[in-house]
Amino acid sequence: MKHLELLHEGKSKQIYACDKPNCIVVRFKDDATAFYNIKRAKIENKGEMNCSISSMVLDYLNRNGVATHFVERLGSNDQLCRKVETIALEVIVRNVIAGSMAKRLGLEEGIVPENTIFDICLHSELLGDPLINDHHAVALGIATYEELATIYELSAKINSLLVALYKQAGITLVDFKIEFGRDADGRITLVDELTPDTCRLWDTATGERLDKDRFRRDLGRVRETYEEVAKRLSNVLNK
Ligand code: TMP
């Protein structure tokens, strides 16, 4: 696969054009940032581990009836993905209260609500991805109410599939962030990544953090943690 020009460089990934029609190459970097670039570091091997983890997870979702942009893993840090029109939303799904929701509402981390919680944020780095609601999204022309209904339905399905997958790996899926796009037929498609950068993963037996909170909160053993998640998922999926 020939990589052509760099189309976009984000904080943790690069997007390249490629010679396969309607496809892009996603390259995972070792760079880590938190709190919108206030904290930065390189975590050795993170790019390869995240490429491995996101490839396994997106392939699992594809096989379970969720349309994603993932086509195949090309090499240690690269994925071949379908090119879709991105939707400027970040959808956050929460099974356990943690992070910004705990802080904003003055709640203890670890509370398990009876319902699944869905947040939507405007994807705008400049504004710090502010929390919005459906009416804002429609007013801003980001998505229609019908598309939002599909997005919530898909997010719930993805959550059920991922909770079941991580359970087999001894991991509680606390929360995660996903993004969507529209394919050529207007079908809502999962894009971006699903990795310990974008999910909170707690060891079910010990409560140990197995995600980017190790970096955000200076908990140590960041590299080893990403390697551990990749190993556990591989053991579950390649049984
Ligand atoms: P939050 O608690 O900071 O709102 O984060 C909820 C989840 O979303 C957590 O798993 C981390 C993920 N997330 C991202 O992937 N990117 C982001 O920019 C933010 C703020 C959160």
Closest residue (by CA) to atom 3 of ligand 1? 100
- Pick from 239, 165, 177, 161: which is nearest to 211 by CA? 177
How far, in Å, from the CA of 81 to the mean position of ligand 1? 23
pLDDT > 70? residue 1: no
The pLDDT of residue 205: 98
Residue with token string 């590299």: 223
181-235, pLDDT tens digit by residue? Answer: 999 999 999 999 999 999 999 999 999 999 999 999 999 999 999 999 999 999 9
For residue 175 and ligand 1, the question of a CB distance below 6 A is answered with yes
Residue 6 CB-half CA count within 13 A: 6
For residue 94 and ligand 1, the question of a CB distance below 6 A is answered with no
> Other C-beta atoms within 10 Å of 164: how many?
12
Residue with token string 């999204």: 137
pTM of the model: 0.97
How far, in Å, from the CA of 176 to the mean position of ligand 1? 7
For residue 232, give the 3-state DSSP assignment.
helix
pLDDT band at 100; cut points 50, 70, 90: very high
Please choose from 38, 132, 175, 193 the residue to mutate so as to test ligand 1's pocket, defined by most ligand atoms within 8 A of CB: 175
For residue 176 and ligand 1, the question of a CB distance below 6 A is answered with yes
Quote the CA–CA distance of 71 and 1 in Å, as a whole number. 13
For residue 137 and ligand 1, the question of a CB distance below 6 A is answered with no
Q: Which atom of ligand 1 is nearest to the CA of 100?
A: 2
pLDDT > 80? residue 3: no
How far, in Å, from the CA of 4 to the mean position of ligand 1? 31
The pLDDT of residue 4: 85
pLDDT > 90? residue 36: no
How far, in Å, from the CA of 34 to the mean position of ligand 1? 10
- Give 3-state DSSP helix, strand, coil % of the chain, rounded to 5: 35, 30, 35
